[in-house]
Amino acid sequence: MNKSVSVALPTALAAALLLGACASTPQPEPEPAPAPEPRTQVERLGADGLFAFGKAGIRDIGPEGRAELDALAARLADGRPLEVVHVIGHSDRIGNPQANLRLSNQRAEAVRSYLVERGVPAERITAVGRGDVEPIVTCDDTPRQALVACLAPNRRVEVRVQFAD
């Protein structure tokens, strides 16, 4: 028998046995990494729960809306570092566009002020109104009360929070 074959055969056999042993030994699965907390979150606050129709004052907020705002303020002031908090006010299409834009700005500013009063850093919060240009729902023209009810989801304030790394 050739000398190189006689040396190579036992070496190849040993390598195959070692590889086979490695392949058949179950390896423990690594621990899954904890899910990272989201860097950005969006809170949508219904304006009808916060404000009376056509109003933007915090004093017009009912108990449900105040509880919703208080919970949001507590989450934002809990110590997790904030990059920026964007408060965006929206309105429905009832009325003229300039008045709707003004109302949406007032709503955003009212929510911003409320959050600042409850410990959210003022330098991290922006507030802007978008008027009626980003509706969630569209409704046919119906009698006024039905239209007001139908368009309620469009009357909202969104709070977009971006947390620092």
CATH number of the domain to which 146 belongs: 3.30.1330.60
Greater model confidence, 104 or 41: 104
64 in a structural domain: yes
Greater model confidence, 40 or 86: 86
On the question of pLDDT at 111 being above 90, the answer is yes
Q: What is the pLDDT of residue 83?
A: 92
Give the distance from CA 151 to its chain's centroid. Answer: 23
Which band of pLDDT confidence, cut at 50, 70 and 90, is reported for residue 21? low
79 in a structural domain: yes
26 in a structural domain: no
Q: What is the pLDDT of residue 23?
A: 53
Measured CA to CA, the distance from residue 104 to residue 130 in angstroms comes to 6
Q: What is the pLDDT of residue 143?
A: 93
Please state the domain count of the chain.
1
Structural domain harbouring 99: 40-163
57 in a structural domain: yes
20 in a structural domain: no
Q: What is the pLDDT of residue 134?
A: 94
Q: What is the pLDDT of residue 77?
A: 87
133 in a structural domain: yes
Q: How much of the chain exceeds pLDDT 70, in percent? A: 76
Residue 127: CB atoms within 10 A of its CB come to 21
Measuring CA to CA, which residue among 57, 128, 60 is closest to residue 89? 128
Q: What is the pLDDT of residue 118?
A: 93
pTM over 0.75: no
Measured CA to CA, the distance from residue 141 to residue 150 in angstroms comes to 10
16 in a structural domain: no
Measured CA to CA, the distance from residue 165 to residue 133 in angstroms comes to 32
Greater model confidence, 38 or 116: 116
Which band of pLDDT confidence, cut at 50, 70 and 90, is reported for residue 117? very high
Q: Which of 48-62, 70-84, 89-103 has the weakest average pLDDT?
A: 48-62
On the question of pLDDT at 56 being above 60, the answer is yes
